[in-house]
């Protein structure tokens, strides 16, 4: 986990690209932490929590398995069954979970030895499940069920010490998941196998409510609740071991979809089993009719769905309000309050976007730099309030001349910039002429105000600073030759040549 945290903070070089593709080292933690460090993809804190959860699951599987084996060896039934009188976890199943926990923990450690150990454990788990199924299908006795006396076997009419068929299938799937993780291939199949384990666990948990009511099913009543819970945790633990790959990538996403997945997926898995427990127990202990229990189940199910919908709606509403507030703050951060035009920050973002479009799509655009002539003298003569009014009127003139897709900005002081997307030098010169005519025709209260305008069309491979420098050079050429001029940067270049 420390290695993952260091990589998230950028203190280690990034892992090679590829699905789970870091050779050696803390393979799973390092690779996924590196992927999570890429901005806009995963939430780094959530990734860390998933990795911690995966390790905790591995430890829990080992701890519960050892506890169950201790219970069998000492005759303590409570250690092997959640509810007294119900089906206990068999010793072979406990051994399977011991192997599964070891495989999961080894997958988090670096080195070839740990990788080989995880592979061996996964193969052993797969073979254990397959051996149990072979015994069921062909009536064979491979000698793996006789570790301890099994008093439940006679009551259930099953071979002593033998785990349920569904538990065996679950172990085969868990072994397959671990094997796929060890070889770093076909991780889409890992998700498919994990969903199979989750389905087995959820069916087992939901059917436990039927068992509570004394209505045993032929297949599912033999799957202990403890086994079902550990199968569910094992599948989730393996999926959490690589939180930026496959289905878990959605749950770790730094987005609304990630938030919804983290908040709603686990409740949606557990609610059916919880309702089954609750209403079958109510029916058993209170003696209510099937119809009444069914009505209560429908009521609570509908209420739960309504609550989830309300929660999602409230979350979306809060996000929308935050988005609106952010838009207002962003507009304030990029708007010049005096003129109502965008400020230098907004201009820099706009010109960068136009340069990107020109580079990738060849879209032309031009830049006008507009500077008020003798503005300092105007300020000194008529005062700053009169100067502010001139700046405000200039903003209105630019807005009147602009098309909807054009961008006008107060570049600094008495200097303004106009970006003209999809406009070449000729069209830009025409816009500059209209701006000059507006200045000439406006009724300035303290006498005429004029502006010099530099015009430049963006060239291929040109940077923002180079384009601005060309337009600025044209602008000051107009200042030098008498002010109230429109000068094209291309014309300057040709005359210089």
Report d(CA 64, CA 69) in Å as an integer.
9
Q: How far apart are CA 386 and CA 119, in angstroms?
A: 81
* Rg of the chain over all Cα atoms, to the nearest angstrom: 36
C-alpha count within 13 angstroms, C-beta hemisphere, residue 334: 15
CA–CA dist 48, 29 (Å, integer): 8
- Catalytic-residue membership of 218: no
Find the catalytic residue in 165, 414, 457, 477.
414
Q: Are 155 and 92 in contact (CB under 8 A)?
A: no
What long-range pairs does 15-23 form, CB within 8 A, spacing at least 24? 18/184, 19/184, 19/185, 19/187, 19/245, 20/181, 20/184, 20/187, 20/242, 20/245, 21/184
Give, as one character, the DSSP assignment of residue 253: B
3-state secondary structure of 147: coil
| CB-CB contact of 268 with 311 (8 Å) | no
Helix (H) / strand (E) containing 320:
helix 290-333
**DSSP secondary structure, 401-460, as one string:** H--TT-EEEEEETTEEEEEEET--HHHHHHHHHHHHHHHHHS--TTS---EEEEEEE--T
Q: Which candidate, 56, 423, 425, 35, places its Cα nearest to that of 253? A: 35
Provide the annotated active-site residues.
Answer: 414
């Amino acid at each position: 986990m420390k290695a993952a945290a260091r990589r998230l903070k950028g203190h280690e070089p990034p892992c090679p690209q590829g699905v789970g593709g870091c050779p050696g080292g803390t393979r799973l933690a390092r690779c996924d932490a590196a992927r999570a460090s890429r901005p806009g993809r995963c939430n780094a804190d959530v990734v860390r929590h998933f990795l911690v959860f995966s390790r905790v699951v591995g430890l829990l599987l080992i701890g519960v398995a050892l506890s169950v084996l201790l219970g069998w060896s000492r005759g303590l039934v409570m250690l092997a069954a959640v509810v007294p009188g119900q089906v206990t976890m068999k010793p072979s199943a406990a051994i399977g979970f011991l192997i599964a926990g070891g495989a999961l923990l080894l997958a988090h450690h670096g080195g070839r030895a740990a990788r080989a150990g995880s592979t061996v454990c996964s193969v052993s788990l797969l073979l254990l499940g397959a051996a149990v199924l072979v015994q069921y299908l062909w009536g064979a006795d491979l000698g793996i069920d006789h570790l301890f006396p099994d008093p439940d076997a006679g009551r259930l009419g099953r071979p002593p010490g033998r785990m349920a068929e569904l538990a065996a299938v679950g172990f085969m799937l868990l072994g397959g998941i671990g094997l796929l993780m060890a070889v770093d291939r076909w991780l889409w199949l890992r998700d498919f196998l994990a969903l199979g384990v989750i389905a087995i666990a959820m069916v087992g948990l939901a059917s436990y409510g039927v068992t509570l009511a004394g209505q045993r099913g032929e297949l599912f009543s033999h799957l202990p609740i403890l086994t079902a819970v550990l199968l569910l945790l094992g599948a989730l633990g393996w999926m959490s071991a690589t939180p930026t790959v496959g289905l878990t990538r959605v749950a770790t996403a730094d987005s609304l979809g990630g938030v919804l997945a983290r908040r709603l997926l686990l409740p949606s898995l557990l609610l059916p089993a919880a309702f089954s427990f609750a209403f079958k127990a109510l029916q058993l202990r209170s003696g209510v009719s099937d119809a009444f229990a069914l009505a209560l189940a429908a009521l609570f199910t509908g209420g739960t769905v309504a609550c989830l919908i309300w929660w999602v709606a409230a979350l979306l509403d809060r996000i929308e309000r935050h988005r609106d507030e952010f838009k207002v703050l962003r507009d304030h951060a990029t708007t010049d309050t005096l003129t109502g035009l965008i400020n230098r920050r907004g201009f820099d973002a706009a010109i960068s976007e136009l340069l990107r479009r020109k580079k990738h799509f060849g879209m032309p655009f031009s830049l006008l730099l507009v500077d008020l002539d003798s503005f300092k003298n105007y300020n000194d003569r008529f005062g700053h309030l009169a100067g502010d009014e001139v700046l405000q009127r200039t903003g209105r003139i630019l807005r009147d001349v602009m098309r909807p897709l054009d961008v006008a900005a107060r570049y600094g002081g008495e200097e303004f910039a106009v970006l003209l997307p999809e406009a070449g030098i000729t069209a830009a010169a025409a816009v500059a002429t209209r701006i000059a005519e507006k200045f000439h025709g406006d009724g300035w209260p303290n006498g005429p105000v004029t502006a010099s305008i530099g015009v430049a069309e963006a060239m291929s491979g040109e940077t923002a600073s180079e384009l601005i420098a060309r337009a600025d050079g044209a602008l000051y050429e107009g200042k030098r030759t008498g002010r109230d001029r429109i000068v094209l940067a291309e014309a300057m270049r040709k005359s210089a040549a």
